Amino acid sequence: MEIIEQKIKRCIKDFKSYTPVLFNGKYKLDANENSYEIPVFIKKKILRKILNIPLNRYPDPETKELKRILSKKLKVNKDMIFLGNGSDEIIFYLSQTFLEKGDTVIIPVPTFEMYKIISKINDAKVIEIPLTKNFDLDDKNIIKYAKITKAKFIFIAYPNNPTGNCFSKDKIINILKNTDAIVIIDEAYFEFSGKTFIKYLKKFKNLIILRTFSKAFSIAALRVGYMIANKEIVKVVNKVKLPYNVNSVSQLFAKEVLLNERYLKHNIQKIIFEREKLFEKISKKFFVVKSDSNFLFLKILDNKKAKKIFKKNKISIRFFQSGYAKDFIRITVGKNKENKLVLDILNKL
């Protein structure tokens, strides 16, 4: 075993495996998934089409049909689209393509943990820039450290996870204008915010946008994400992409939910409606960040007591016990019944 340990990359030796918190309860409100399944008639329609997939054959390695549909929907050239096995895989490919040992990555915190984890796996140095008191970007410090360190990447979640808010558009534009770094804007929750930087792709060649089918499109189980960027970036990232990275069933589901998007928008609107109701009621007792996503981020006084009560009621939510999000909890917006249970518990704290 000693021989094996000697061969492990130094940046991995003291690294702890990232393990998602396993759901243990009746109501799952801990991972920002869509609380609604795709309509049964769409699922049945897709299942019938699965019968025609030759499972003995590899999937389309270029995801041509899915790119065509996305290209039409987004009004961008298909050469600007890259599909991945979830956004995580795309972040990993971006890191393998651009990061070398000792390169710097800048991350506003708190934010999505995989930015830091994947950067460190690829031997990069991560600089964390805390958000301002009102949970906005500290654009001046981001620009400052990007210039000092010649940062390769700046990650910006928009809306941000776990805080749920969209950062100031002007601050993001300021960062794009005043750094040479590749700015990766993760729009995983775009469908709940309606805010996007797609129109800036032509102006800023250092801009990359990430999206996913895991949230609004209700197919988190199938792991499909995509990147929109200038075609030169897509072309070079294709050099490190593993063949057949998005399986045939996932491609089929992603195509069908896009073609039937109008039926999914009803559920998205229900989530937004429930989010606003929850925010209004929770804000009367707790500090809660105004959300542009499908979850709420709030501060509580007694983390241990809250954890005990939520567990007793078999509701799984996300607790933050350390770092920049310490003493906060993140609650996915659920169905009406689930949200009422959450409010009942919060009223007891």
pLDDT digits (tens, 9 = 90+) for 200-259: 999 999 999 999 999 999 999 999 999 999 999 999 999 999 999 999 999 999 999 999
Q: Is the pLDDT of residue 46 over 70?
A: yes
pLDDT average, residue stretch 162-177: 98
Q: How far apart are CA 183 and CA 115, in angstroms?
A: 12
Question: Which residues in the chain are classed under CATH 3.90.1150.10?
Answer: 2-38+262-346
- Of the candidates 226, 220, 293, 219, the residue with the CA atom closest to the CA atom of residue 257: 219
- The Cα 158–Cα 167 span in angstroms is 7
Task: Please tell me the least confidently modeled range out of 8-12, 130-134, 135-139, 169-173.
Answer: 8-12
56-107: pLDDT as tens digits: 999 999 999 999 999 999 999 999 999 999 999 999 999 999 999 999 999 9
Residue pLDDT, tens place only, 273-286: 999 999 999 999 99
Task: Strands of 98-187 (E only): list them.
Answer: 104-109, 125-130, 153-157, 182-186
DSSP per position, 294-315: SEEEEE-S-HHHHHHHHHHTTE
Tokens 């940062």, located at residue: 151
CATH of domain 2-38+262-346: 3.90.1150.10
Residue 81 makes CB contacts below 8 A (sequence gap 6+) with 67, 70, 71, 74, 226, 227, 228, 234
Delimiting residues of CATH 3.40.640.10 domain(s) in the chain: 55-260
How many Å from the N-terminal Cα to the C-terminal Cα in the chain? 50
Q: Is the peptide bond before 20 cis (omega within 30 degrees of 0)?
A: no
Two tokens, residue 159:
């809306």
Q: What are phi and psi of 137, to 5 degrees?
A: -70, 140
pLDDT of 268 reads 97
What pLDDT does 1 receive? 59
Domain 55-260 has CATH 3.40.50.300: no
